[in-house]
Amino acid sequence: MPRFMRFGYMGVMVTMFCGMLLSPPSAVAESSVDSGNETRVTLEGFRSARFGMNVQEVEQAILNDFSIEPEAIQREKHPTQKTENLKVTVDDLLPESGTATLYYIFGFQSKQLIQINVIWGGAASAATTPDEIVAIANQLREHFFRKGFQKEGLMMNAPLGEGILLVFRGTDVRGRMVVLLLTDPKPQEKSEKKVPTLRLSYIVDPDNPDIYRIKDDAF
């Protein structure tokens, strides 16, 4: 089940919920906004899946984007945040990048697409090597850096804690956010090998995610 990530505007707050291409650069659904002297990116979703689509529309977008059968798309529901999620596993979103798991997350109230997570490594693909994960992170960081995200709130290669690196964070002119997070867990034993996890997230409203919350006067 996917992990929902909430990021404050100035700092970085990560609220995990269990649960996150670029073949060409057009793998990210985006458009451009002319802001005087600069052209800035605006995030629209991921490939054919656009923010605001309902579950059925995203299912069709997934089938259009990847050579998979409808049965390969799994439906999940988060137990506390009550969001519905579509999960699919695909190979080589980037050349020789191995297996990635994609999660399409729909708002609790709106029932519309609010976030897409793409995960490499870790439990998603133990066959992927640490060097491959780092290579993917570097490729995506450079790709996003060239896109023209707003300077305010832009972060790269920022340590968040032991074994956690914020590779890239940027917001577009509407406040939509892309986040690239690398996690390298410590093995419990010397003989144990753990593959780093790279999570790429596209988030429509990072400050006010459409998830279930208990009302203040309920208890």
Question: Nearest Cα to 198, choosing from 134, 155, 115, 114?
Answer: 134
How high is the mean pLDDT of the chain?
Answer: 83
* Tens-digit pLDDT profile for residues 109-136: 999 999 999 999 986 676 788 899 999 9
The neighbouring-strand residues paired with 42 are 31
Distance of CA 131 to the CA centre of its chain: 20
The pTM (predicted TM-score) of the whole model is 0.81
* Cβ neighbours of residue 15 closer than 8 Å, sequence gap 6 or more: 4, 5, 6
